[in-house]
Each structure stands twice: as C-alpha cells, then as structure tokens.
Amino acid sequence: MPSARLYIIRHGETDENRSEIIQGHKDTQLNVAGLSQASVVANTMEKIPLTEVWSSDLQRAVKTAQIIIEKHPGLEISTSKALRERHLGVLEGKHFAARSKVLATFPGGVDPSAERVEAMEKRVMYWWDTEVLGLMSKPVPPPVALVNDNGIVHEHDKYTHDPSNVHHVLVVSHGGFIGSLVRKLVETGRIQSLRKTPMRGSNWVCHNTSITTIDVGEDGKGTLVKYADIAHMLEAVKEGKVATRNADVPQEAMNAVSGRH
C-alpha cells in the first residue's frame, strides 16, 4: 500500500492555449472552456479523500485548484513558484509558429533569458525530493470536519475518512512541468511505469485537466499508475457536458467520442 498517492493535474484551457500563444511564466487566465474543464475534473476528484493541495502560483493553475476543492471544503491551497511552467524568455506571448524565427536572432538559437531544460529538470526533481518525499515522514492530516451552518455533517464526510492512512495529494501544475517531472522520475528509476511499452515523443503530451496518478511508498519508490489521463474529459464530451473543441486534444479523438466525423 502506498504512503502517498499524487493526482497531478494540468490547469484548464486558456485563450493562449487555444490561440497557440506561448505562455511559460506569463500569468494567463482560464477561458470559458477552461472553467468548464475544471468543473469536469472537479467532479472526477469529488470522492477522492484529499489531504493536501499544492498548486503553481500562476492564476490558471490556482483557479483550477480552487474549482476542484470547492467539493472539498476546509482544504487550503499551498502555492509554489517551484510548480511553474518552464520560463521561456522572449518567446512568452509569441505565437508558436514564430518560435524558430525568434530564436534565430540569438547566437546558437538559444535565448539566454529562458530557463534551460537542464535547469528546469533540476527544479522539478528538487521539488519532488523535498516536498513529495518529505511527506513520507509526516502524519496524514486528520479529516476535515465538514459541517454546514446548521451543524449537520455534510454527506461528503462519508468518504473523507480514509482508513488506509494515505496522503492523497492534489497537485495542479503545467504541461511542461508535469512531462519533465514524470520523464525524469522514470529515467532515474524513482518510479516504475505500469505501461508495457516505454513512453516516447508525443506520448509525453499532457492535455489540459488531464490527471497523472503516482503512488509513492515509504521508501520513496513509486509507481506511475496513469499518465495524462483524459478519460473523464472524453466522457464529458460524449455526454454533452463540454464542447467538443479542445485546444489540446486532437480533433479526431474528440470526434470519435462525440460521434462527429
């Protein structure tokens, strides 16, 4: 049995996602679709007995986390710059199609103001080693007393008492951070994947409000249960709860579940 289970969720959609504008540390907001996506993933997470909530301090992540924990009264969000997307220097705010042209203006095609890939990987692994592995020596927080204004225990209280004594941690971050984190954890042997085939190339894409689930034992070793799962979003499309147009999911996949071709 794991000592902690992490639910790592990418923020909901922004106008910049839809317009293919590079964001990085640019503090963008969820658009209407993003708010809807956050509500869908909140429903998916409703019966998870969350004990801790961590989020990037950028608003698109914080708002996603806020919507999720509306169904978990009493929990507070701990924000951290360490969970931010990679800083992309002068590319931030530029259209993705202009990337090559912009970088060509720098010697060697490298913007010195951008966070280097190696630096980001060091950042995400430091966060894992200090924050996540740090949980292994900490007691699981007691369940929040969910009582309404009339003193009546909320129905939610039925499943907040987790007898397994496991940390259930919600982490809301960004696609680049999540992909880099999981890739390095697998490469370094800190976690093992349940997938029979290795993750390569486009398999590391992390869609808006996708859920990555990792179990971690007392010894710090973990298991990648799911990576960037969007089953909940595809089901919501099928049921007509969200629009079929999604900035991050290939249109053919959306068409397949919505019946459109």
Active site annotation includes 85: yes
According to the annotation, is 12 in a ligand binding site? yes
Q: Give the residue from 185, 149, 242 showing the smallest Cα distance to 6.
A: 185
> By the 8 A CB rule, do 182 and 205 touch?
no
According to the annotation, is 244 in a ligand binding site? no
Q: Which of 11, 72, 167, 168 is catalytic?
A: 11
According to the annotation, is 248 in a ligand binding site? no
Residue type (1 letter), 210 = S
Distances (CA, A) of 69 to 12, 34, 137: 14, 16, 25
According to the annotation, is 99 in a ligand binding site? no
Residue 224 CB: number of other CB atoms within 10 A?
18
According to the annotation, is 195 in a ligand binding site? no
According to the annotation, is 15 in a ligand binding site? yes
Q: Which of 25, 52, 85, 87 is catalytic?
A: 85
According to the annotation, is 79 in a ligand binding site? no
> By the 8 A CB rule, do 254 and 245 touch?
yes
According to the annotation, is 14 in a ligand binding site? yes
Residue 151 burial (C-beta neighbours within 10 Å; 0-12, 13-18, 19+): exposed
Q: 3-class SS at 9? A: strand
Residue 80 burial (C-beta neighbours within 10 Å; 0-12, 13-18, 19+): middle
> By the 8 A CB rule, do 73 and 145 touch?
no
According to the annotation, is 118 in a ligand binding site? no
Residue stretches of the annotated binding site for substrate: 10-17, 60
Residue stretches of the annotated binding site: 10-17, 60
| Active site residues per annotation | 11, 85
